[in-house]
Structure 1
């Protein structure tokens, strides 16, 4: 199996992680056990390659590149939120910490048209439990950024709640994207937009660098199509 592009390989690998478990490590034995002759074909074979690519990229990419790709493209909620938390301290900006945190989160989880309610409230189909879970996770990230301690097992328990529904899409309330709420100083909107765009530019550059590095890894492994850019 070969991938048409680096981006396709990255997206498939990250999606495989959400479907099959941590790095897809438990997928191969399950597949093998289901095959009477031990032959893996079709979708199972493709999934194994995706899981292998996930493990390869995770081990070869530098942390900031891996976290940038995970934050931007992963559908695994707990790992996406974890990656966001690891990216935030890396962003040099004049913006205060809360603004930086929310800007990175909004970049990683952009609004989905038709999902956020125009009234500023979440759509009815999103449960209160999902919202509570996400709030708990983001609260843990904020505590870590502020240097506050998180009780042993607290963050892990919160993540495990999300892992159980890891393929669900994270939906933030519409009011989260109002940049006027990202800072309490009451500065003008032009300043806030300048901060936001600068943060997004750094993150986009990080993703571009990560894809270049990932491309070199995949090319060395011979799993990119010859004409892939």
Structure 2
């Protein structure tokens, strides 16, 4: 399997954690005679590649960068929550701890368009997105927005660095499609 780009590879790899085989009947053959006899192909081949990429990235990336990818792209809510907590603890900011935790949470679960942001079950309640409720100290809005911006910039920098490392790993393995 060849991925279109590094983000699709990371998203698929992280999603492989929550995929199970309880999805009903599968009438497609697991093995096709046209290929190497006994070779796994199709959806099963793609799933195995996703699992391999997940393991490879998890092992090869530094812990902080792996956590940034999990917090940003994972659909496994427990792992995403754990990664968010770890990232919040590692952020250097003059903001109070509660503010940092809220900023990380709203970065990991961005408000989605739609009816009250409910296009997905993975959104926070609307009150979480009110930046004024993150700090009890009565700081001016400009300070709150500056803190939030710095925290998000730090998180995005970590994600970008992780994607660069992931790109290098996947390029070495020949798993990213080259533009013609």
Is structure 2 residue 91 aligned with structure 1 residue 91? yes
Partner of 1:105: 105
Is the contact made by 2:99 and 2:135 (CA closer than 8 Å) also made in structure 1?
yes
Partner of 1:63: 63
Partner of 1:193: 145
- Structure 1: unaligned runs, 5 residues or longer: 22-33, 118-122, 124-167
TM-superposed CA distance for 1:169, in Å, is 3.7
Deviations 1:48-101 (A, max 9, x none): 111110111011100111100010011111111111011011111010000000
TM-superposed CA distance for 1:111, in Å, is 1.0
- Structure 2: unaligned runs, 5 residues or longer: 22-28, 32-36
TM-superposed CA distance for 1:184, in Å, is 0.5
Deviations 1:178-210 (A, max 9, x none): 011001001111110000000000001000000
Q: Which runs of 4+ in 1 moved over 4 A?
A: 34-38
Given the two structures, how large is their TM-score scaled by the length of structure 2? 0.86
Comparing both chains, which one has the higher relative contact order based on Cα–Cα distances under 8 Å and sequence gaps of 6 or more? 1
TM-superposed CA distance for 1:171, in Å, is 2.3
RMSD of the alignment, in Å?
A: 2.3
Deviations 1:135-187 (A, max 9, x none): xxxxxxxxxxxxxxxxxxxxxxxxxxxxxxxxx84221101110110010011
Going by fraction, where is helix more abundant, 1 or 2?
1
